[in-house]
Amino acid sequence: MALPNQRIKPSRRGVRLMAKGSVLIAAVLFDLYETLITESAIRPARASSLAATLGLEENAYRTEWKKRRSRVVRGEMSFADALAEISRSLMGRADIDTIQRIRQERIREKAAAYAQIDKDVAGFITVLARRGIGLAVISNGFQEDVVGWSHCSLAPKFHCTMFSCAEHVAKPDPEIYLRAVRRLGAKPAAAVYIGDGADDELVGAKRAGLRPGRAAWFVRDSPQKGIWPELTSCEDVLKFIGAG
């Protein structure tokens, strides 16, 4: 399956309008789910909760899914293959038709979130794009999760997409952040990362040499709250990038 991976060279015009201390900000990297888009109104089925649909015992299914999830996220195994393998290991056969329905439903549910962009999020992304800041999105997810990205209204404003299933590396591994920064033609010290904090992504960004900020406009309460700068609005984002 072809995955979207824009690699457009960002304009450098206007980059000097924002600085982190004495370092000029050239790139802003964003998490995707619960940062640029939210699934709060959609509530898609979690991959770990599919036991009943597959006719499997719940605890046994969760154990087997946990063993395979990271491989699916890194694109080393497809979602469908993981479900088929689990089914065969637990009941000796796989219901391929049911598995394909699950897969298609995941694509539909994920695509629905791309169609509902918060106006404040759209606002600050537009401001950053107009100022010539290089923009990247970094997301841990399955192949099914990113099918709808190319149809998202935000997509044309991003110069680089780093999806774990396409890159075969996932947050919080510093490599995925560094790849994005390199593709934007920037240095880690001249980049910031903004995400809700899942998957230890903010720790990973810091290890990669970026400055992390927590996106708190969708996820208000989090174990990460208070550890990182809290950003709750468009104004917070712009101040965070400019204040240093």
Q: Are 177 and 193 in contact (CB under 8 A)?
A: yes
Residue 21, pLDDT above cutoff 50:
no
Task: Please state the rounded mean pLDDT for residues 22-32.
Answer: 88
- The residue with greater pLDDT, 3 or 119, is 119
Residue 18, pLDDT above cutoff 50:
no
- What is the structure's pLDDT at 243? 56
Q: Are 174 and 207 in contact (CB under 8 A)?
A: yes
- What is the structure's pLDDT at 225? 77
- The residue with greater pLDDT, 40 or 215, is 215
- What is the structure's pLDDT at 71? 98
What's the helix, strand, coil split of the chain in %, to 5?
50, 15, 40
The amino acid sitting at 42 is I
Per-residue confidence band for 2, with pLDDT thresholds at 50, 70 and 90: very low
Task: Please state the rounded mean pLDDT for residues 30-42.
Answer: 94
Distance CA 24, CA 132 (A): 12
Size of the chain, expressed as the number of residues it contains: 244
CA 138 to chain CA centroid, nearest Å: 5
211 Cβ contact list (under 8 Å, min separation 6): 20, 191, 192, 193, 205
Largest CA distance in the chain: 62
Other CB atoms closer than 10 Å to residue 102's CB: what's the count? 19
Task: Please state the rounded mean pLDDT for residues 100-111.
Answer: 96
Distance CA 244, CA 227 (A): 16
Domains of the chain: 15-38+117-243 (3.40.50.1000), 47-113 (no CATH)
Q: Which residue has the tokens 């065969």?
A: 88
Residue 38, pLDDT above cutoff 50:
yes
- What is the structure's pLDDT at 23? 64
- What is the structure's pLDDT at 24? 85
Q: Which residue has the tokens 């000796």?
A: 92
